[in-house]
Amino acid sequence: MAERGRLFVVAVPIGHLEDITLRALRTLREATVIACEDTRRTSQLLELLGVARPRLVAFHEHNEEAKTPLVIEVLESGRDVALVSDAGTPTISDPGYPLLKAAVTGGYTVVPIPGPCAAITALSASGLPTDRFRFVGFPPAKLEARRRFLEELSGATETLILYVGPHDLDDILALASEVFGPSRPAVVARELTKMYEEFRRDTLLALSTSPGKNRGEIVLLIGGRESDEAPTEDDLQKIAQTIIDEGFGGARAAKELTRRTGANRDEAYRAILRLRAGEHETD
């Protein structure tokens, strides 16, 4: 039986070309096929890196489900495949998860080639605590879904890391200031590793009321709730409502509220009971 190919998950620069690793260069040179988010951008990158272009397969969010079986066929034939995104580490808020899942399920060898990642790059220089953090990707586009998304995170005690589009940043900062509280520390990291790299460090309120240049790729980091910072009654009610809307009930809802906010068990039960009482009053 012929030896099966390997899937290499290759991190590429998020801006500065010199951030490519020697191992990534060798992997890109030796791979039979490169599955990439955008063939034009990857072609340009390979040219700048001096890598002879192998066969490129477009592999992005709109076709990854359909293309996954084709890439698996390449692996089955004994040829190696390198998976890359336009910038940074594949599958981290980028395409590739369906392929990774299929490769792991099928017993193929998956080899990570570590390197640049915008979330970790921003965190490392943010000045916010790095011992515990949570990466949550892109917030939803619609306002109500975005509000629920942030409310669910408002009790988190770890540093939060979000990816934000430049046109959404001001609105998200204003909403985050409302949900997390105006004094919560935050960092806007923009154009990482590029010529106009910028870190803006302040409170959510200050960042939301003094907008800067929002061009380029942006990472938003929000400091976690202090362990001795008691959630307000209004915060508890908002998060409790979200939990109930998700289908939790009774003791499970109270336990989930405690987990998300750090509120003690009695406070959580009272918040759930107040909501239930309000529902009965409106019936």
Order the strands of the 33-36 sheet from edge to edge.
55-58, 33-36, 81-84, 6-10, 109-113
Which token pair is 232?
Answer: 């307000």
Q: Please, which pLDDT band fits residue 244 given cuts at 50, 70 and 90?
A: confident
Q: Is the pLDDT of residue 272 over 80?
A: yes
CB neighbours of residue 150 within 10 Å = 22
The mean pLDDT value for 96-102 works out to 96
Note the pLDDT of residue 265. Answer: 80
Alpha-carbon gap, residue 236 to 83, rounded angstroms = 43
Q: Is the pLDDT of residue 180 over 70?
A: yes
Q: Please, which pLDDT band fits residue 48 given cuts at 50, 70 and 90?
A: very high
Percent of the chain with pLDDT over 90: 70
Alpha-carbon gap, residue 82 to 93, rounded angstroms = 18
Note the pLDDT of residue 118. Answer: 98
Instruction: Give φ, ψ of 146 to 5 degrees.
Output: -65, -40
Note the pLDDT of residue 43. Answer: 96
Q: Please, which pLDDT band fits residue 213 given cuts at 50, 70 and 90?
A: confident
Please name the residues in contact with 247: beta carbons below 8 A apart, sequence gap of 6 or more: none
The mean pLDDT value for 211-218 works out to 80
pLDDT, the chain, mean: 91
Alpha-carbon gap, residue 164 to 178, rounded angstroms = 17
What does CATH list as the number for 119-222?
A: 3.30.950.10
Which token pair is 76?
Answer: 């089955």
Note the pLDDT of residue 242. Answer: 80
Nearest to 11 by CA among 127, 173, 119: 119
Q: Please, which pLDDT band fits residue 280 given cuts at 50, 70 and 90?
A: very low
Fold of 6-116: Cobalt-precorrin-4 Transmethylase; domain 1 (3.40.1010)
Q: Please, which pLDDT band fits residue 230 given cuts at 50, 70 and 90?
A: low
Angle (deg, nearest 10), helices 250-261 and 265-282: 130
Burial class (CB in 10 A: 0-12, 13-18, 19+), 54: middle
Q: Is the pLDDT of residue 282 over 60?
A: no
Note the pLDDT of residue 106. Answer: 97
**Which stretch of 96-110, 126-140, 145-159, 201-215 has the lowest confidence by average pLDDT?**
201-215
Note the pLDDT of residue 279. Answer: 59
The mean pLDDT value for 10-37 works out to 97
